[in-house]
Amino acid sequence: MKSLLPLAAAAVLFTGFTVFSGFSSPASASDAPVKYATVRNWVIYNNGAHCTANAKYEDGSTLQFNIGTNGGANIAIWNPRWNIPKGNYTVVVAIDRAQAETIEAEADGYYVMMPWQVNEARMNLVSNGVVFRAMLGQEIYEYNLAGSREMLGLLSRCVAAISPSASNPFAATPPAATSKTPPASTDTPSNPFRRL
């Protein structure tokens, strides 16, 4: 199990990261990500049609929450050292001692992206949570959620600032991921989904 503590420095946005399934991309360079706020180790960005909260950890990985003005939401974990073959994978996630949930996630290269149905129960779980756990393949990664209550509040305000007339971003359900069999060649050491 890998336990990861947040870096003291603010997370840096990796501008090449574009896995916002169901979210519109910025229309022009003037819509490029803009830093919205920082709270503890979380950095929140306004990306034009969605807002992103990043927390970077000691191993170089980043835990990221994304919410769009269309109500779509996802959680992503990425690490520039990963080399995961593109495909859909099963990921098991849990916060603290809450019941684990199995999610069909998309992965490609350095990221794993999981759809997130935002509702009151999940918001409370993340807000009051201490540790976010994700089992990627055979590896368990743990991420400290310090400051998550404040982060979710700022993320919500960021989305409202983009589109004050948008419907409640916490009421919609993101589209369900399609199930596909992972590629057969997943044996690289930098791939947490490698077959053992």
Confidence band of 193 (pLDDT split at 50, 70, 90): low
**Residue 55: its pLDDT value, please?**
97
Contact 153, 35 (CB under 8 A): no
What six digits make up the tokens of 107? 């992965």
Q: Is the pLDDT of residue 106 over 60?
A: yes
SS (H, E, C) the chain: CEEECECCCCCCCCCCCCCCCCCCCCCCHHHCCEEEEEECCEEEEECCCEEEEEEEECCCCEEEEEEECCCCEEEEEECCCCCEEEEEEEEEEEECCCCCEEEEEEEEECEEEEECCCCHHHHHHHHHCCEEEEEECCEEEEEECCCHHHHHHHHHHHHHHHCCCCCCCCCCCCCCCCCCCCCCCCCCCCCCCCCC
Considering the entire predicted model, what is its pTM? 0.71
pLDDT one-digit tens code per residue, 162-179: 876 554 545 444 444 444
Over range 155-166, report the average pLDDT: 82
**Residue 33: its pLDDT value, please?**
86
* Angstrom distance (rounded) from CA 53 to CA 63: 8
* Angstrom distance (rounded) from CA 115 to CA 68: 12
Over range 107-130, report the average pLDDT: 92
Over range 178-184, report the average pLDDT: 46
Contact 143, 136 (CB under 8 A): no
**Residue 119: its pLDDT value, please?**
84
Q: Is the pLDDT of residue 37 over 50?
A: yes
What six digits make up the tokens of 182? 């992972």
**Residue 195: its pLDDT value, please?**
54
